[in-house]
Structure 1
Amino acid sequence: MVHCPECEETLEEQSDVEFLDMDSTTGFFRASKRFYLVACGHCGAAIGSGVAGAR
């Protein structure tokens, strides 16, 4: 079982987390990948991140 490091809420289902698409076109260059942030669905704390393939 996984718990949020901030609020200690149990994360058991997909609905317990949010997958936020970070716009990869902002910043100094245009990236060919999509960046994601995984956040706790209860308190919004960042739990992890990832990269998806090219657009």
Structure 2
Amino acid sequence: MEVSPAMLRLFDSIEMSKGIYKQAGEVAERWNKIVFDKKLELRKKKNKKRKR
């Protein structure tokens, strides 16, 4: 999940929505990191099982 920088700029210029899309971008970054870490963990477990 990724928020477009162009969308961030567009909605940041609207007074009512300031911060909402910035937060969405931050949450998307955290989500991507969590998913990456989980996939890495699963790969390590899978490789560990193969070595046995």
TM-score (norm. length: structure 2): 0.23
Q: Which has the higher helix share?
A: 2
**Which of these two proteins has the greater Rg computed from alpha carbons?**
2
TM-score (norm. length: structure 1): 0.22
Q: Which has the higher strand share?
A: 1
